[in-house]
Amino acid sequence: MSLTKYKLVLGLEIHLHPKINKKMFCYCSSDIWGKEPNTLTCPVCLGLPGALPVPNREAVEKTQLLGMALKCEINQKSRFDRKHYFYPDLPKGYQISQYKQPLCVGGSLKLDNGFVVELDRIHLEEDVAKSFHVNSQTLIDFNKSGVALIEMVTKPVFTNVTDAVDFCKKVQNIIRFLEIGDVDMEKGQLRLEANVSVRTEEMENANELAPYKVEIKNINSFKFLEKAVNAEFERQVEVFTSGEIPKQENRGFNEATGKTVTQRDKEEAHDYRYFPEPDIPPMEFDDDYLAGITSQLRELPDEAVSRYESMGISLATARTIVNNFGLDTVILFDQALKKGLDPIKSANFLVNKKEIIEAAAKGSEHLYSMLEQLIKGNSDNLDEEKLAGVIDQVLEMNPKAVGDYKKGNTNSISFLVGQVMKETKGGADPMVVRKKIEGKL
Ligand SMILES: [Zn+2]
C-alpha cells in the first residue's frame, strides 16, 4: 500500500448550539444539559400535527454575527426549507433547515500557518432528538429536539487533518469571543462531521476532486477527528489499491477497533426532497438591521493577538494568552494593564505562573496587585548580578544534575531551572534562567 501516491481531501461540517435561552422554533428552554429526559418539550418540538414553528430572532442574529466575523456574505433574503428523511429521532419526518437561501454564504478564515480555509455557507436549523440503544430497545429523549443549531460548511479544502483541527479550534475561539455559544464539546454543543475522499497526486495538481465522498458523523472531540480521518483515509486508499472506488456513504468511527464502519448510504440532495417551509414566511433583512448586527462585532482573537504584539509582547506569549486562556483572561488582563503595568513583564508572568491565572478568577483588581508585586519584587531584588549569583550557587550545589546535562541528558536542565526559580521565589523569568544556565554549561 502506497500512501504517498494518494492524497487526502477533507471538508468539515461544524454544528454548534448558539447560547440562547429558548429552542429554535418554540418557547421550550434550551438549557438541556443534565436535565431529566423529555421534560423540555411542547407540541412544536415533539413534531405534533398542527403545531406552528416561530423562528427565534436571537438565533438568526447570532448566525449572522458569526457570518460577519468569518467574512461571509450575509443574504438579505433568506428562508427555511424542509429536509425530509426518516429516522426515529425526527418525529415530523423532516427537519427544518436551510437549503437554497442560507443566512450566510462564502467566507474564509486564515490559519496561523497562513493557509486560508474557504467556507461554503453558514445556515441555521433545528437539532434532532437523542436516541439511546439499551439492550434491544431504543429510547428517545426529546429535550434536544428543536434546539437551535448553527451549521458551518467548509469547502473540501483541507489536505491534512492538522489544518482541520487548527481551523476548528480557531472557530471555537471566535465563537467564544463573540459570545455566540459556549461550544463545549463534552456537552455536545459543538459537533463535527468530516467529508473524506482520496485523490491521486495528478488530480491534486489539476485541482480535481474525487467523484464521491464519505461522511463521518458524530465527531465529538478533536482527537476523535484526527483518528477517524486518518483511519478513513487509509481505508479508502486500500479500496483504491484493490482497484475499486469507495462508495458514497455515511460512516461512524469505532474507537475500540480504530476503524470506521458503514452506517447508511449517503443521500444526494434530491433524496431529501427539500421544499420551502410553508409555515414560516421568508425573511428579509434591511441595511439598518444588518448595521445593528455589525455593531455587535467585537475584537476577534487574532486581533487581540496583534494588539498584544504591538505592545511588544511576543507572538507565542500573545497566542497563549488569547487562544489557550481565552476571553475571560483577556478581559481581566486588559483591565489590569490599564492601571499601568508593564505589558511585556506582566504577560511573561501571566503565562509562566499557573497560580496567577487561578488567582485572577478573583477579579482584575486581584490580578493587578499580584502582577504589580511580582514585577516590583523582580526589579527590586533580582537585578542581573543577583540572578547570576543565584545561578552559580545552584550549579555548585547540584553537581550531579550539571554532570548529567554535560553527558547529554538535556532534561536535567529543567531541574536546575526549577531550583533557581525556588531560590528566587518565582521572581525570575524561567526562559531567561534557562538561557543563562545553558550559556554557563
Ligand atoms: Zn418546544
pLDDT digit string, tens, across residues 376-399: 776 555 677 788 888 999 999 999
Distance 142 CA to ligand 1 centre (A): 9
> Which tens digits make up the pLDDT trace of 91-138?
999 999 999 999 999 999 999 999 999 999 999 999 999 998 888 998
Distance 52 CA to ligand 1 centre (A): 10
Distance 146 CA to ligand 1 centre (A): 7
- How far out from the chain centre does Cα 269 lie? 27
Distance 147 CA to ligand 1 centre (A): 9
Q: Is the pLDDT of residue 227 over 80?
A: yes
Distance 122 CA to ligand 1 centre (A): 24
Helix (H) or strand (E) holding 6: strand 6-16
CB 272 within 8 A of CB 90: no
Tell me the pTM. 0.84
Using DSSP's 3-state secondary structure scheme, residue 95 falls into strand
Q: Identify the pLDDT of residue 277.
A: 97
Distance 26 CA to ligand 1 centre (A): 5
Distance 130 CA to ligand 1 centre (A): 15
Distance 47 CA to ligand 1 centre (A): 9
Across 145-159, 215-229, 259-273, 396-410, least confident range: 259-273
Distance 263 CA to ligand 1 centre (A): 29
Distance 28 CA to ligand 1 centre (A): 4
Using DSSP's 3-state secondary structure scheme, residue 23 falls into coil
CB 388 within 8 A of CB 436: yes
Distance 123 CA to ligand 1 centre (A): 21
Domain boundary assignment for the chain: 6-293, 301-440
Nearest by Cα to 20 from 106, 146, 140, 208: 146
Q: Is the pLDDT of residue 1 over 50?
A: no
Cell 486508499 belongs to 237
| Local confidence band at 425 (pLDDT 50, 70, 90 cut-offs) | low
